[in-house]
């Protein structure tokens, strides 16, 4: 019996070792499979405004997202058009250029989370030869190296009265018959025009956000006129700014743009070793309005991307390179100083847009006037 005990114990011991080894192998294989799944790059489909195309296509952003298991596949559309789409659930995220459109999207898809990774003020791109003319008219003032459009009510009055550039006293720089107007995108499709409408309606409503039916009736006739007088308008914010860059003062003396568009242009010129046009200048309306680039996460991967954009230090720094402002004001101030960007570090006279419903009502009423 003793002769059998030793070999039997040895067999049992070997069997136990074998089972333990098998279990360890299974566990290791499962862990490796889980790790591979975790590092597998997932495609995240999203709708964005055209002004963010350069940022999302930057190879540095692609590399950072890939390290986090994501790649983006983009479709461009106007912010208002994004909010009105019926197929939003086919996408992982929507990234319009304004808070009202983002709120509409959030409600439509019952989004679990939204993020605001960056924002940009609305500004008017203009030309230095026009500054003396505008200053004499009391429309523009300089403060600490920044030019402010300091009398927005007067500008609206002059535009409504049909004043032409040649009518402005002492205007030898631009004595043309073109009407004094701020050019914008098409308010029926584009967020930048909707932000212009929000700002202009606030000024026309005695410095109050439009809320009531009576206030709507008060401002709508003027709002319709300042948009219809422009004639043809581009559907995307890239269009008017491209005209400003390529066609100059003759085509675009005053253009409502995102500050980030102008700063991205300066960054591109610096990267290519080219000097920017020295006559270009930004005018900051007083008051102005911020365009919040709100990110609406629709799927879990969309939420993951939104979290990265809002919290990853490298992505936040990259956004600043593209001219966007982030929640950390000191970082933008430091970067703009280093790059010698002609912009104020902070803006204090900033208003809120109307509710989505009020803004949509104004846009719908203006749209009816186009059809007449």
Q: Which domains does the chain have, with CATH numbers?
A: 41-120+291-339 (3.40.190.10), 121-290+347-371 (3.40.190.10)
Nearest CA-CA partner of 101 in 183, 189, 161:
189
Q: What's this model's pTM, rounded to 2 decimal places?
A: 0.84
Q: Please give the structure tokens belonging to residue 118.
A: 């960056």
Distance CA 167, CA 115 (A): 47
Range scoring the smallest mean pLDDT among 4-8, 50-54, 217-221: 4-8
Q: Which residues contact 109 (CB under 8 A, 6 or more apart)?
A: 88, 89, 94, 296, 298
Could you give the C-alpha distances from 149 to 34, 89, 140, 287, 320, in angstroms and in order?
Answer: 58, 42, 5, 9, 25
- Grade residue 33 by pLDDT with cuts at 50, 70 and 90: very low
Choose the most confident range, by mean pLDDT, from 51-60, 61-70, 95-104: 61-70
Structural contact between residues 306 and 114, judged by C-beta atoms closer than 8 angstroms:
yes
* Mean pLDDT (whole number) for 116-128: 96
User: How confident is the model over 195-201, as a mean pLDDT?
Assistant: 96
Report residue 269 as tokens: 């010129």
Per-residue confidence (pLDDT) for residue 37, from 0 to 100: 47
Residue with tokens 């208002």: 80
pLDDT tier, 160 (very low <50, low <70, confident <90, very high otherwise): very high
Phi and psi angles of residue 39, each rounded to the nearest 5 degrees, phi first? -90, 0
Mean pLDDT, the chain, integer = 88
The percent of residues above 90 in pLDDT, for the chain, comes to: 68
Residue 1 tokens, joined: 């019996």
């Amino acid at each position: 019996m003793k002769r059998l005990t030793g070999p039997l114990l040895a067999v049992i011991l070997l069997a136990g070792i074998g089972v333990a080894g098998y279990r360890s192998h299974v566990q290791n294989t499962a862990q490796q499979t889980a790790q591979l799944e975790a590092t597998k790059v997932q495609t995240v489909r999203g709708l964005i405004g055209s002004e963010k195309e350069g940022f999302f296509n930057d190879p540095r952003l692609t590399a950072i997202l890939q390290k986090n298991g994501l790649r983006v596949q983009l479709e461009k559309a106007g912010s208002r058009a994004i909010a009105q789409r019926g197929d939003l659930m086919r996408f992982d995220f929507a990234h319009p250029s304004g808070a009202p459109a983002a709120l509409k999207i959030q409600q439509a898809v019952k989004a679990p989370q939204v993020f605001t990774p960056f924002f940009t003020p609305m500004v008017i791109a203009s030309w230095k030869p026009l500054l003396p003319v505008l200053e004499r008219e009391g429309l523009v003032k300089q403060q600490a190296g920044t030019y402010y459009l300091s009398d927005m009510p007067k500008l609206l009055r002059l535009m409504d009265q049909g004043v032409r550039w040649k009518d402005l006293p002492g205007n030898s720089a631009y004595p043309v018959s073109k009407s004094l107007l701020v050019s914008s995108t098409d308010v029926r499709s584009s967020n930048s025009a909707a932000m212009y409408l929000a700002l202009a309606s606030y000024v026309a409503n005695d410095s109050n956000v439009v809320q009531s039916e009576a206030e709507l009736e008060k401002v709508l006739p003027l709002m319709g006129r300042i948009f219809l007088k422009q004639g043809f308008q581009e559907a995307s914010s890239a269009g008017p700014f491209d005209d400003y860059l390529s066609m100059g003062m003759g085509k675009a003396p005053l253009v409502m743009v995102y500050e980030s568009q102008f700063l991205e242009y300066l960054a591109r010129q610096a990267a290519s070793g080219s000097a920017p046009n020295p006559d270009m200048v930004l005018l900051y309306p007083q008051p102005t309005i911020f365009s919040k680039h709100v990110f609406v996460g629709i799927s879990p991967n969309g939420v993951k991307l939104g979290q990265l954009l809002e919290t990853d230090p490298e992505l936040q720094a990259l956004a600043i390179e593209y001219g966007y402002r982030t929640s950390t004001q000191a970082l933008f101030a430091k970067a703009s100083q280093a790059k010698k960007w002609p912009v104020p570090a902070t803006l204090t006279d900033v208003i809120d847009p109307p509710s989505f419903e009020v803004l949509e009502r104004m846009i719908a009423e203006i749209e009816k006037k186009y059809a007449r």
